[in-house]
């Protein structure tokens, strides 16, 4: 899907939280260069996003190790962006709360 979006010049952004996770690697120098060209917009987590993330955490069962996912979802919800992930199962809990997963709309 990423290749299709790039070919159609779809706007592609990433939350700062997802960017940090992605950058933890491992990644080659080439991967780093390519990713910087693809993700030219890194969206910060705002105070309002933090409140949304906390609400998502509480509303979806306070699942261990899910806070980062809640923050990523909160940024996507604010930006009215579809979230693309290979871990859709980790994010489907947020759909009833306003998150749209890419490829499911």
* Higher-scoring residue by pLDDT: 64, 94: 94
Of the listed ranges 19-23, 80-84, 100-104, the one predicted with least confidence = 100-104
Closest CA to 23 of 12, 2, 38, 8: 38
Structure tokens belonging to residue 75: 């940024």
Q: Kindly indicate the confidence band of residue 103, based on its pLDDT and cuts at 50, 70 and 90.
A: confident
Domains of the chain: 2-101 (3.40.50.1010)
Q: Give the span between the Cα atoms of 41 and 38, in whole angstroms.
A: 9
CA-to-CA distance for 56 and 24, rounded, in angstroms?
A: 25
Maximal C-alpha separation, the chain: 40
The band of 105, judged by pLDDT with boundaries at 50, 70 and 90, is: low
pTM comes to: 0.91
Helix or strand (DSSP H, E) at 15 = strand 13-15
pLDDT tens-digit map of 20-79 = 999 998 999 999 999 999 998 999 999 999 999 999 999 999 998 999 999 999 999 999
Exposed, middle or buried: residue 56 (CB in 10 Å: 0-12, 13-18, 19+)?
buried
pLDDT at 93 over 90: yes
């Amino acid at each position: 899907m990423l290749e299709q979006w790039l070919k159609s010049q779809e706007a592609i952004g990433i939350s700062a939280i997802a960017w940090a996770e992605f950058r933890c690697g491992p990644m080659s120098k080439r991967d780093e260069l390519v990713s910087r060209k693809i993700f030219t917009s890194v969206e910060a987590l705002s105070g309002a996003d933090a409140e949304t993330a906390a609400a998502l955490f509480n509303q979806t069962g306070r699942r261990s190790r899910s806070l980062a996912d809640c923050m990523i979802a909160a940024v996507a919800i604010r930006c009215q962006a579809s979230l693309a992930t290979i871990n859709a199962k980790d994010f489907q809990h947020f759909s009833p709360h306003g998150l749209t997963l890419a490829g499911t709309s």
